[in-house]
């Protein structure tokens, strides 16, 4: 028997497959044609995303979908540094 475990990269909790969301962060480096972007892929659980204000529940209609997308865009822009810190990135002044 094969058992898969799904672990959040932030809180390290084991969660169900549907409770883990893939998160991708891209960094584009201007002026470089080769290796233009650096990409980091992590899996973050619903609880950790909700704590950052990201709405993860499925919308019931098109209007709610658009509202959630706009709210999530704003939350992600406001919390991008928090996400990186949670994932172990150290910012030095
Ligand atoms: Zn988590």
Structural domains counted in the chain? 1
Whole-model pTM?
Answer: 0.79
Residues spanned by the domain of 76: 6-86
Tens-place pLDDT, residues 67-79 = 999 999 999 889 8
**1 domain-assigned:** no
Q: What is the pLDDT of residues 33-48, one digit of tens each?
A: 666 677 889 999 999 9
**Three-class secondary structure of residue 82 per DSSP:** helix
Four-residue CA torsion sign, 65, 70, 73, 79: negative
For residue 35, report the distance from its CA to the centre of ligand 1, in Å.
Answer: 30
Residue 43 located in a structural domain: yes
Q: Is residue 91 part of a domain?
A: no
Note the pLDDT of residue 88. 81
Percentage of the residues of the chain whose pLDDT score is greater than 70: 95
pLDDT at 36: 62
CA 60 to ligand 1 center in whole angstroms: 25
Judge whether 15 lies within some domain: yes
Q: Give a yes or no: residue 93 inside a domain.
A: no
* 92 within domain boundaries: no
Give distance in angstroms: CA of 56 to centre of ligand 1.
13
Q: Is 76 within the bounds of a domain?
A: yes
Q: Give the separation between CA 25 and CA 43, rounded to whole angstroms.
A: 11
């Amino acid at each position: 028997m094969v058992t898969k475990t799904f672990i959040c990269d932030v809180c390290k909790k084991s969660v169900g497959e549907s409770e883990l969301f893939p998160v991708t962060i891209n960094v584009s480096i201007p002026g470089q044609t080769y290796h233009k972007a650096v990409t980091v892929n992590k899996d973050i659980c619903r609880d950790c995303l909700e704590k950052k204000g990201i709405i993860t529940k499925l919308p019931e209609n098109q209007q709610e979908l658009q509202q959630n997308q706009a709210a999530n865009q704003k939350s992600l822009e406001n919390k991008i540094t928090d996400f990186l810190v949670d994932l172990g990135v150290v910012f030095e002044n």
